[in-house]
Amino acid sequence: MVNPWRGEVELVIDGKPQTLRLTLGALAELEAELQSGSLVDLVQRFESGAFSSRDVLALVVAGLRGAGWQGRGTDLLQAEIAGGPMAAARAAAELLARAFMLPGAGADDGL
């Protein structure tokens, strides 16, 4: 079971529940992976609904790696995600929201 207070989100990949979490290291990797802009730009794309599938994949990979996964983005290209692209996008948005949640804010506030 995921712990939203630790910023964790669950996504079912290939029939197995996976925990995703954006640690500081995962955020640094994500920022290095972004071809343009910063994490703030990424957050703004999600807030405005102007994110790309590449943004979603980069966030899912970063979240998996932050939770200890050793794979790469190419490992997910053929993966079956329960709920499809919309579930992946929702998990990515939750990851961002939880990673930047202010102390004292509820884990489900604004999600």
**Contact of 66 with 26, CB cutoff 8 Å:** yes
What is d(CA 88, CA 105) in angstroms, rounded to the nearest whole number? 24
Percentage of the chain beyond pLDDT 70 is 89
User: Which pLDDT value is given to residue 111?
Assistant: 47
pTM for this prediction:
0.85
Which whole number is the average pLDDT over 1-13? 92
Model confidence pLDDT, tens digit, residues 15-68: 999 999 999 999 988 888 887 678 888 888 899 999 999 999 999 999 999 999
User: Which pLDDT value is given to residue 107?
Assistant: 52
Phi and psi at residue 16, to the nearest 5°: -120, 130
Percentage of the chain beyond pLDDT 90 is 59
